[in-house]
Amino acid sequence: MDGIEEARIQLSEIELLLSMFPSKEELIINDQLAFAELRDYVEGRANDPPSSRAQFTIQQRLESANDNMVMFSLSCTYPLKYPAVLPEIVVRSSELSRSNQAQLHRDLNAYLNENCCGDVCVLTAIEWLKENASVFFNKDPFPAVKKQADTPFKGSIFTRLWIYSHHIYNKQKRKNILDWSKELKLTGFSMPGKPGIVCVEGSQIICEEFWARLRRLTWQRILIRHREDIPLDNNCVNIDAELEKQRRFTGFEETIFDIRGNRGNHMDLGQLYHFLNEKGCGDVFQLYFGIEGR
């Protein structure tokens, strides 16, 4: 540890966490000696910095994708220079496969690196897990998707998802959106910038697969703003033809309107409204932005 300031910040965060998770079922100090040394150093009872690193484990429950409650633990070890560098965080659960655990760690670290480097981040990590971890439990990373022709006719549903993101800048994310929509044979469009908008349409099971992949990427905020589910005729002979009748879009494209704003990251929402209107989706504009389009 380079100085007393890092030690003060580390002790302060642990004490905050202890006040928020007071029972041993919620928070366990793994190395009581390291914690005592940290406190003595901060409070002036020791001249030398701690000889070992502070470690603790937080246990929480969350609702999984299939509505079951899942227990998970977050084990955290402070590097000597924390919070200048990220802590070592390991998430464990009996419902978490090894491959999904590795992917979860990559996504979590990427999010913390982007949003918390230089600041305390344990609470941020817990909140991220509560919002995002459920999709990693008891689920293959990218399960095989049946072709639409293999989908049972009975109860078939056409779905259109209107997805909102705080922003879409990252080139890899934009590529993923285009590649996945093509792979899954979905139609619609994406609008990068701030905010970011994605619309996909097709059979319900395929749209849900697209959403499951998309939400697993690291986002500041992403949600389904609106969805349309249209039951199809159970007696139809050609389900693909029934799906085609419901589509508002031909193919999938990234749509860029006139760029505005000081940072050049805001699209012209007037042009977006006219684009949606031409597709027969003008009413969605108010659902996104709370105002009527012009």
Tell me the per-residue pLDDT of 121-135, one tens digit each, with 9 for 90 and over: 999 999 888 888 777
Asked if residue 213 lies in contact with residue 132, where contact means CB atoms within 8 angstroms, the answer is no
Residue 16, CB-side half-sphere exposure with 13 Å CA sphere:
10
pLDDT computed for residue 146 by the predictor:
45
pLDDT computed for residue 137 by the predictor:
75
Determine which of 49-63, 149-163, 209-223 has the lowest per-residue pLDDT on average: 149-163
Token digits for 151?
Answer: 């989908």
pLDDT computed for residue 156 by the predictor:
78
- Per-residue pLDDT of 201-212, as tens digits, reads 999 889 999 999
Do you know the residue count of the chain? Answer: 294
- Average pLDDT, stretch 97-124? 88
139 confidence band (pLDDT: 50, 70, 90) = low
- Average pLDDT, stretch 138-156? 46
Q: For residues 84 and 116, which has the higher predicted lDDT (pLDDT)?
A: 84
Would the pLDDT of 168 be above 50?
Answer: yes
- Per-residue pLDDT of 62-92, as tens digits, reads 765 556 678 889 999 998 889 999 999 999 9
- Average pLDDT, stretch 90-106? 87
Would the pLDDT of 113 be above 90?
Answer: no
Q: How far is CA 198 from CA 21, 165, 188, 207, 251, in A?
A: 38, 8, 8, 12, 13
Pairing of strands 196-203, 88-92: unpaired
Give SS3 for 29.
strand
Q: Give the whole-angstrom CA distance, residue 54 versus residue 15.
A: 12
pLDDT computed for residue 159 by the predictor:
93
pLDDT computed for residue 266 by the predictor:
59
Contacts of 285 (CB under 8 A, 6+ apart): 269, 272, 273, 276, 291, 292, 293
State the residue for tokens 């979905």: 186
Q: Within a 10 A sphere around the Cβ of 72, how many other Cβ atoms? A: 23
- At 278, which helix (H) or strand (E)? helix 269-278
- Per-residue pLDDT of 232-261, as tens digits, reads 876 666 778 888 899 999 999 999 876 654
95 confidence band (pLDDT: 50, 70, 90) = confident
- Average pLDDT, stretch 1-28? 88
